[in-house]
Amino acid sequence: MARLTQADLVGLNSVLETHTPQELLAWAKDIFGERVAILSAMQRAGATVCHMAYATGVRMDVLFVDTGVLFQETLTTRDRIAKEYGLNIVSLLPDETMEEQTKRLGVLYLTVEGQMQCCDLRKNVPLLKAKGKYDALVASLRRGDGGKRARVPILAIDEKMNCLRVNILANFSNEQLDVYIAEHQVIVNPLHAQGYATIGCNRCTTPVLPDEPRRAGRWRHLGPWAAYCGINPTDVDRGDESVEMPQELIDRIFGRKADFVI
């Protein structure tokens, strides 16, 4: 096995900047084969990635973390996308229901520390159940979302999952996203039309006012310091993460021909 760091990806990332999302999707499938999946929360951008997979015929599993306290509209969107786009959506669930967790640990999401523990138990731990199955996860983070995501790279190291994140929409602008959704009539969560700019668990998501930042509706009760759940490594990165992969796979990622085996 060999190590791959974020710094190793700088040159390749600048080459991939000129690729369209659909080309990046095809690139990921070509490099990782059966060991790549889409990770989608079924928000607008995640639904768009699902539509791109459907429209281009690039087949891969779709991972969906179901915290058990999502809005019914989100679950209905997931089910419509699975059926109408013919995608295999794998829902990953926490070990405990929210009721069981609350009996054991209390209402966690009302404090900053509790929110981190709750997100860990209900989002990060379920996703970790898929660790080892995939070398890459296609995600839908966009620089247009601002905040920590304003600098999200196309290829990002996911140390916890020991895989690469392929952010195929990283440089897809807000306008491009709007146009794609309208032109292709992408199935979108109806809550977006009710003022929910981004959508997570029903306990921790509210609509936003027109002049508020897009993420103001996430963990509003905790204030602006609790802006992310940690499921996306680039939201909380340290900058020195690395993953371990076979040298042959790393050579394939960089388009090099492997003439040796470790």
Which residues contact ligand SF4 by CB under 6 A?
67, 69, 109, 115, 118-119, 122-123, 200-201, 203-204, 229
Using the minimum distance from each CB to ligand SF4, give the nearer residue, 81 or 118: 118
Please name the residues in contact with 217: beta carbons below 8 A apart, sequence gap of 6 or more: 196, 197, 198, 205, 206, 207, 208
Please give the sequence-ordered ranges of beta strands (E in DSSP) within 40-131, or none if there are none.
61-65, 89-92
> Does the annotation mark 229 as catalytic?
yes
Closest-by-Cβ residue to ligand SF4 is 201
With respect to ligand SF4, which residue has the nearer C-beta, 90 or 227? Answer: 227
User: Is the CB of 44 or the CB of 122 nearer to ligand SF4?
Assistant: 122
Q: Which is nearer to ligand SF4, 29 or 122 (CB)?
A: 122
Distance between CA atoms of 84 and 18, rounded to whole angstroms? 30
Tell me the closest approach of the beta carbon of residue 234 to ligand SF4, in angstroms. Answer: 18
- In degrees and rounded to multiples of 5, residue 162 shows phi and psi of 50, 55
Q: Decide if 165 contacts 136 (C-beta within 8 A).
A: yes
Structure tokens given for 183: 């032109």
CB of 93 to ligand SF4, least distance (A): 12
Q: In angstroms, what is the minimal distance from the CB of 175 to ligand SF4?
A: 29
Q: How far is the CB of 224 from ligand SF4 (least distance, A)?
A: 15
232 contacts: CB under 8 Å, gap ≥ 6: 139, 141, 165
Among residues 163, 201, 204, 229, the one annotated as catalytic is 229
Q: Please list the active-site residues.
A: 229
